[in-house]
Amino acid sequence: MNVEALRELLAQVRSGQVAPEAALERMRRLPFEDLGYATVDTHRHLRCGFPEVILCQGKTPQQVAGIAQRLMADGCEVLATRAEPAAFEAVRAICPDAEFHDPARIIVCQRKPKPLPPGKILVVTAGTSDMSVAEEARVTAEVLGNSVEKLYDVGVAGIHRLLSRAHHVFDANVLIVVAGMEGALASVVGGLTSRPVVAVPTSIGYGASFGGLAALLAMLNSCASSVCVVNIDNGFGAGYIASLINHTNLPAVAKARRKPCRNAKK
């Protein structure tokens, strides 16, 4: 049951249109439902603002479709990551309007319009080989309700490609930097902007990159203080975190920045 449906049900109870016993029966499946192969968190939208996201990896197409069907029964949006074409076909059988985003490998159903915050998220990649992870981040952030721009293939091997379009970096409210190999791009971008940078190491690279471990360690050791790091190839996590940051209103912080330090000399 999503927020709108629960609010409507409570209003009907208050007005006397629905008896409390009937409302209790309709809410009996909160906060989760056991499907046998999955325990669907039907309460997550109420707690976190977005329904449970389906990780398709390791699930059969039928299991993905079953979870999606349960979420849609509550009027929830469906976001399914790491999906293969077979999973998409199974979901489309129950949701003809389902969208498949390739190369992000994301399935979206019952996508709902959302008011967009004024800030933009910019997704930056070091190379074209990082695009699938970057697209996972981009689509995730867009579905969560954000204006997203992208700047791909601007790695440090040709840093002029980034610097010639630095205005995109300066205009963004949050940045997602996706890079493999040595992962240096996150530090470079972090040194150009005062905005938070969510760094995503990818498993792209030659032998000594150790499947993304070299990029992960480089990003964790970034000398740019604005850089935070998610796990290797975790474009979804980066898009989700960037969305949370972009939707966070911090008037108290902004006000504090305008105040002079109490210990400052007059």
**What pTM was computed for the model?**
0.82
Tokens read off for 117:
């915050």
- The CA distance from 20 to 13, in Å, is 6
HSE-up (13 A, CA, CB side) for residue 6: 15
Q: Strands of the chain (E only): list them.
A: 32-34, 39-41, 54-55, 78-81, 99-101, 106-109, 120-125, 147-151, 174-179, 197-201, 227-229
DSSP three-state, residue 62 = helix
**CATH 3.40.50.1970, the chain: domain bounds:** 120-246
Identify the pLDDT of residue 28.
65
User: What stretches in the chain show pLDDT beneath 50?
Assistant: 250-266
Q: Are 56 and 107 in contact (CB under 8 A)?
A: yes
pLDDT, position 255? 42
pLDDT at 3: 65
> DSSP 3-state helix, strand, coil percentages of the chain (rounded to 5)?
45, 15, 40
Model pLDDT, residue 261: 41
Ordered DSSP codes for 9-20: HHHHHHHTSS-H
Query: Tell me, what's the pLDDT at 265?
Result: 45
- Tell me which CATH code domain 120-246 carries: 3.40.50.1970
Q: What is the pLDDT of residue 147?
A: 94
What does DSSP assign to residue 238? Answer: H
For residues 255 and 219, give the distance between their C-alpha atoms in angstroms, rounded to a whole number: 31
Inter-residue long-range contacts of 39-42, CB under 8 Å, 24+ positions, other chains counted: 40/67, 40/70, 40/71, 42/1, 42/70, 42/71, 42/74
pLDDT score of 250: 47
